[in-house]
Amino acid sequence: MVNLRRYTLVRNLVLLWVTGVILAAFLLDIPRINILEHTARNLYFHVPMWFTMMAAVFVSAYHSFQVLRSDDLVRDIRALQAARVGAFFGILGLVTGIVWSKYTWYVGTDVWWNFDPRQSMVSLQLLIYGAYFVLRGALDDPSKRARIAAVYNLFAATTTPFLLYVIPRQMDSLHPGAEGNPAFSEITHPVMRLVFYPAIIGFIGLFWVLYTQRVRTALLKLRTTHDPEL
């Protein structure tokens, strides 16, 4: 079910890789931009959270699709755990974004949350995934649960790109990449790309490790109690 040798190898590589990313994130000198100052370094941490969540959404949707094709309960376990760890990274992305915005967009005010379209839409998206977990809890029969949850999960996955990328970019937002604000590609210095792309790879690797860990536990639970829900 899970290739343990590959898991251990990838885990060790990921831990080394992310350590290197964190060191580079703090040690490499970056150009200072007004208002952003050193917080530009959050590009290496906040933005990969969303890339990772997007990757998790793809993995989860792929396994839900396979549930509908094959009725395989192991696919259902994988879909659930990918969504769980994906939502975890989404929450981290949202919270780190709130902290970042407090000291840039909202500096000198008491504002922490101002219903910026980007933040509102991702909150909505996380609620859609919250409903997926609640829906699963409401169904008792494992194979019925797997199929119904898979259909809902495919719906949740299709809403994600719209709520994350399409709608916020049509609206006035302080977030980069929105109407009236330059996107990553227009403003990012080459030195920062040198850390940013490896950071994305590192955090997606971290997702894979955490996700595989949970799949292993869920499989063990399935074999002992015939109920894989974690």
Partner 1 sequence: MSLSLTLLTDIQDQAAQSTAYDSIWAGGAVPTQEYSGLEQVMLAHDKLYVVLAVVLIIWFGIVILLLRNDARLKAVERTIEERGIRSDDGL
Residues that bind partner 1 (CB under 8 A): 22, 25-26, 32-39, 41-42, 45-46, 49, 85, 88, 91-92, 95-96, 99-100, 102-104, 107-110, 174, 180-182, 186-187, 206, 210, 213-214, 217, 220-221, 223-225, 230
Cβ-based nearer residue to partner 1, 121 or 206: 206
Report, in Å, the least distance between residue 189 CB and partner 1. 12
Distances (CA, A) of 140 to 95, 131, 152, 226: 33, 16, 16, 12
72/87 Cα distance (integer angstroms): 23
191/27 Cα distance (integer angstroms): 12
Alpha helices in 71-189 (DSSP H): 73-102, 117-138, 142-161, 167-170, 184-187
216/213 Cα distance (integer angstroms): 5
Report, in Å, the least distance between residue 174 CB and partner 1. 7
CB 177 within 8 A of CB 184: yes
3-class secondary-structure state, position 106: coil
Report, in Å, the least distance between residue 225 CB and partner 1. 6
Report, in Å, the least distance between residue 69 CB and partner 1. 27
Cβ-based nearer residue to partner 1, 37 or 71: 37
Specify burial of residue 57 (Cβ count, 10 A radius: 0-12, 13-18, 19+): buried
Report, in Å, the least distance between residue 33 CB and partner 1. 5
Report, in Å, the least distance between residue 68 CB and partner 1. 27
DSSP-assigned letter for residue 40:
G
CB 89 within 8 A of CB 130: no
Cβ-based nearer residue to partner 1, 132 or 207: 207
Closest CA to 156 of 74, 82, 52, 83: 83
Cβ-based nearer residue to partner 1, 37 or 161: 37
Cβ-based nearer residue to partner 1, 159 or 188: 188
3-class secondary-structure state, position 172: strand
Cβ-based nearer residue to partner 1, 102 or 147: 102
**Token reading at 106:** 């909202």
